[in-house]
Structure 1
Amino acid sequence: MRHPEYQYLDLLTQVLERGDERVDRTGVGTRSIFGAMIRFDLSGGTVPILTTKRVYWKTAVKEMIWFLTGGTNIQPLLRENVRIWSDWPLASYRRETGDEISQEEFEQRIMDDDTFAAQWGELGPVYGKQWRRWLGNDGREYDQIADLVRMLKETPASRRMIFHAWNVPELGSMALPPCHMIYQYHVTSDGRLNCLMYQRSVDLLLGAPFNYVGAVALQLMLAQQAGLRPGEFVWAGGDVHLYLNHLEQAREQLSREPRALPRMRLTRQAANIDDYRIEDFEVEGYDPHPAIKADVAV
């Protein structure tokens, strides 16, 4: 049986060899293809934490847990040593103040100064806000995650077990419009929970590996809350791209042979979907190739 990680490596190859090259929003430029799908079977306990480079899986899980809090400020992320969202508020701060502060100093001020964090650490109504506090035109806030957990338990045959973050009136207020924007769930007759996640825009080198881990971590949490077993994780990408300053890193990753995928499990039964902590996740058998460094395009 072919190693499942080759699905990702094949995508890298497709983008490198036949991607359409164009200037993008960031000015860096991309090479992209449109429309892709990858499937990972989680039923045996293995998860798609890529092995052809080290993926910092705890960072991805911490980000997902933060989304579930409904948070939109980077202060709690930084206090957990998660720095993947710092670029956007830092760019905004530099642009609006003219202060060429270093990223390290900016992040430290966010962590130490609540007033500074409230003004400059805010990302706008990004993922967590939409997932947990979607504001309806009736003035009510809607908790899509709580509704999903309820449906998984009460109406598992439903075809409406979906949540998303593409809130059109609020897109302009977000630091970055949602990339992994739609999640749909499906429960089989023998009690397996499947997930399909659609990602409209995919930074294939840096973003996709994190997004796989976060989505699967959420799938494990939801399965536990609903008394189900993990089934299949299906990932669908829209604009799947490599930034032009990531091409050599992609070629380096393609030169490596995949190793055995690790296993992820939850170490305790959480009381509810809001009760999970990073300590509840255990990964076994992760032996990746070294990390590959690349710059984030902002």
Structure 2
Amino acid sequence: MASSAIPRNHPTPPHPEQQYLDLMRRIWETGSARCDRTGVGTRSICGAMLRFDLAGGAMPLITTKRVYWKTATRELLWFLSGSTNIRPLVLQGVKIWNEWPHARYVRETGDAISLEDFAARIAQDEDFARRWGELGPVYGKQWTAWPTFRYRPDGLYEPGTPINQVAQLIESLRRDPGSRRHIIEGWNVAELDRMALPPCHKTYQFHVAGAGAEARLNCLLYQRSCDVALGLPFNLWAAALLTAMIAQQVDMQPGELVWMGGDVHLYENHAALVAEQLARQPRGTPRLEILRRPETIFDHRIEDFVVHDYTPWPPISAPVAV
């Protein structure tokens, strides 16, 4: 006698973004109240992890508020250019790094120029930008020109050939995919005091699963300090995009993005943002398409990237702690 199959009701898997919202809620409800360098105050937890499958172009692009992914992409391309001056960003309308050089300019000159007027002057005056738009040896410098030194017979040191970590990583993925040394590091202890802001998303480690046409490139990002409301949506997008760009260069498919945070926090003055965002439900499944494969990863343009099925909720504004 044939037995009839009993259907099983499988619960619908949660939207990948739900883990981000759960993290936000956990921090707001259970995080420790802490003083911080900005004076604003945070609610903070120690240690968190998020995982996102990047197969088929899937991207961890937050939908419960609009994330300006083109701005985040322009920032990533700026990192890859090696630039440490805000002028290239300002000329593209990207404002996310303006507060730090503006604060330094006001502090050192006593000129209480507005942030908007400061940015306009950066755009109009190359000499002014050269003097006041510099951020020090931040991400782009460390990623593409990590400084080295040679020991001389007289006991002194002299500059050596800078290391392009990104180019070196791509070459090592091609040559030795099974290596456990596929790392891009931003935390250069010797130069931290010269940076406008020490790197938050500091260590990227890449891992190859499978081989040949089935090879998938995974990325683990360790972020020492994370502003979950304003910073993390940009960080997740940029890390996933970097993984997809590198995967393209080494003839692999994007695998998984694993994000790990150290000091994971929300600012006390983001209460309205947190309440509004947690009241929303994720929607859509954003997907990335890279329209061309340039000769090197450093030759990409903003026009190379398209996002499909991104129908986010409206943006939510909140102050940036500097």
TM class, shorter-chain normalised?
over 0.9
Q: CA deviation at 1:251?
A: 1.3
Kindly provide the CA deviation profile for residues 208-229 of structure 1, in whole angstroms up to 9, marking residues without a partner as x.
Answer: 0000111111111101100110
Aligned to 1:162: 183
Q: Deviations over 1:32-51 (max 9, x none)?
A: 00100000001132101100
Pairing 1:261-276 to 2, within 5 Å after superposition? 261-276=285-300
Q: 1:35: which partner in 2?
A: 47
- CA displacement 1:65-105 (0-9 Å, x = unmatched): 00001110000011111100000000000111111111111
In structure 2, which of residues 302, 309, 312 is the aligned counterpart of residue 285 of structure 1? 309
Partner letter of residue 270 of structure 2? Answer: H
Q: Distance in 2 between matches of 1:278 and 1:196?
A: 24
Equivalent position of 2:216 in the other structure: 192
2:280 match: 256
Counterpart AA for 1:127: Y
1:179 matched to 2:191? The reply is: no
Q: Which residue of 1 aligns with 2:257?
A: 233
Give CA deviations for 1:3-54 in whole Å, capped at 9, x if unaligned. Answer: 1101100010110110000110000000000100000001132101100000
CA offset at residue 248 of structure 1?
2.0
Contact 1:198 1:236 in 2 (8 A): yes
SS in 2 for 1:34: strand
- Structure 2 distance, partners of 1:41, 1:21, is 33
2:236 alignment counterpart = 212
Q: How does 1:7-156 map to 2 (within 5 A)?
A: 7-138=19-150, 139-140=159-160, 141-156=162-177
Distance apart, 1:271 and its partner CA: 1.0
Displacement of 1:270 after TM fit? 1.1
Distance in 2, Cα, partners of 1:279 & 1:164: 28
Q: Which runs of 4+ in 1 moved over 3 A?
A: none
Q: Over the residues paired in the alignment, what is the CA RMSD in angstroms?
A: 0.7
**Based on CA coordinates, which of the two structures has the bigger radius of gyration?**
2
SS of residue matched to 2:142: helix
For 2:306 and 2:227, locate their aligned partners in 1 and report how far apart those are by CA, in whole Å. 27
CA distance in 1: counterparts of 2:34 and 2:15, whole angstroms: 32
Where does the alignment leave 5 or more consecutive residues of structure 2 unmatched?
A: 1-12, 151-158
1:202 match: secondary structure? strand
Alpha-carbon separation, structure 1, partners of 2:272 and 2:116 = 27
Correspondence 1:223 to 2:247: yes
Q: Which amino acid aligns with 2:137?
A: P
Structure 2 SS opposite 1:289:
coil
Whole-angstrom CA distance in 2 between matches of 1:22 and 1:179: 18
Task: Write the distance in 2 (CA, Å) between the matches of 1:16 and 1:80.
Answer: 35
For the 8 Å contact 1:111–1:117, the answer to whether it is kept is: yes
One-letter amino acid matched to 2:169: L
Query: What amino acid does structure 2 have at the position aligned with 1:219?
Result: T
> Is contact 1:60-1:213 (8 Å) kept?
yes
Q: TM-score, structure 2 length as denominator? A: 0.92
Q: Secondary structure of the residue that 1:134 maps to in structure 2?
A: coil
Q: Which amino acid aligns with 2:189?
A: V
Partners of 2:292 and 2:304 lie apart in 1 by 6
Identity of aligned residues (%): 57
Is contact 1:50–1:261 with CA below 8 Å preserved after alignment? no
Whole-angstrom distance in 1 between the partners of 2:102 and 2:22 = 35
Q: CA deviation at 1:137?
A: 2.6
| Partner Cα distance (2:138, 2:26) in 1 | 31
Q: Read off the aligned partner of 2:94 and give its amino acid letter.
A: V
Aligned to 2:8: none
